[in-house]
Structure 1
Amino acid sequence: MAKPRKVSNLLALAVLSTVYQRPMHRYEMASIMRERGKDQDMDIKWGSLYTVVQNMEKHGFLESVGVTRAGARPERTVYQITEAGREELIDWARELISTPLPEHPKFAAGLSVLAALAPAEAITLLQARLDRLEQSISTQRATITLHGGEIPRLFLAENEYGLAMTVAEAQWVRALLAELTSGSYPDLDAWQAWHATGDLPPELTEIAERGSLPDQ
């Protein structure tokens, strides 16, 4: 079970890991996080950065250590991580690495209403998704290969995980497409009849009313 946190926005985690390196102002934090692709690793809303940093200072995870000014630009407050912030970063990392937590990917939401589409359209859309996944796999592999010689593997772990998850999804979609196109997918005839007639076949009515799985 996830531990309640004083600042639970994942942007806070990204900030802590960035400022852990050295003190910096908010604009520099955002620039470094973007450069490192943090918005690809987690759902980051950049417009929340000011509030997140403010809340982390309020709860003692960050502290201001002065201001800086470059040319005619306005003054910017510089923050450094506190001991409490280091402890929060380490504790949060331990939780995220050790404890599987429920996630709700949008693809799963789409699959939960797959029956609303006619089988032929589902096949077309799944093939389009598979094409995009395969392109993504090629891009991700190229990125890892490009940076593999200059960046320690320790800092590419999230890239390797992302690639593995994309490969696994592509394999699953490919297998589903094979069943649908070969006609071996269970209940395919009933699914097609439903969209042909507009009437839900009796064999699907009960499960549609109670959901895809029995109550646990």
Structure 2
Amino acid sequence: MLDTSRLTPIAVMILATLREADMHTYEMVRLLKERGDDRLVPLQKGTIYHTVARLERDGLLAEVGVDRDGNRPERTTYTLLPAGHRAVEAWVRAELPQIDRASDFRVALSEAHNLDRDEVVALLDRRRDLLLASRAQHRAGLEKAAERETPEQFLVELQRQSALLDAELAWQDSLRARLVDRSLAWGIAEIPEHIKKKHHVSRETFA
């Protein structure tokens, strides 16, 4: 079984970007920023270059060429290796059902399109069970607090978390419904060609 524990969120996002096309580090950063992924992880130049070097050492990506544009420094182009392809999928599978690592879940959700539609539905169903259990626990806590006549000022955080769980469940149920009825395009094959070009998606499949 592939060990994904050593992969950081930024490593997963770099590998996922290379699933679309071979590119150099500057292009990876530009594309991630264009898509707003810097909301999820810091895109610091030093961290990016260090991560790319580590992924190369681990056999997940490889150099395929060096470009030079005018007087600019040489730029090394990287390609995704089969092990990197599998690593992205394995990491998303591990993190998408979780409810206790919010930052990793956000990255997994942003990369969930790398998995088949039906598999994503199944993973979200596992997550829904955890959300329901957590909501029941919070509601039980609020009920016990009310029975003990605990002053409400001590419960505002618990109330907030309960409300957030309600909202999370409603959002996830809506996403699941759109995946199931196929009203949400999923996977690169379902993206119209003109949209692929606009958003720099160049590979026809993730195979």
TM range (shorter): 0.3 to 0.5
Work out which of the two has the higher radius of gyration on C-alpha atoms and give 1 or 2.
Answer: 1
TM-score w.r.t. length of structure 2? 0.47
What TM-score, normalized to structure 1? Answer: 0.45
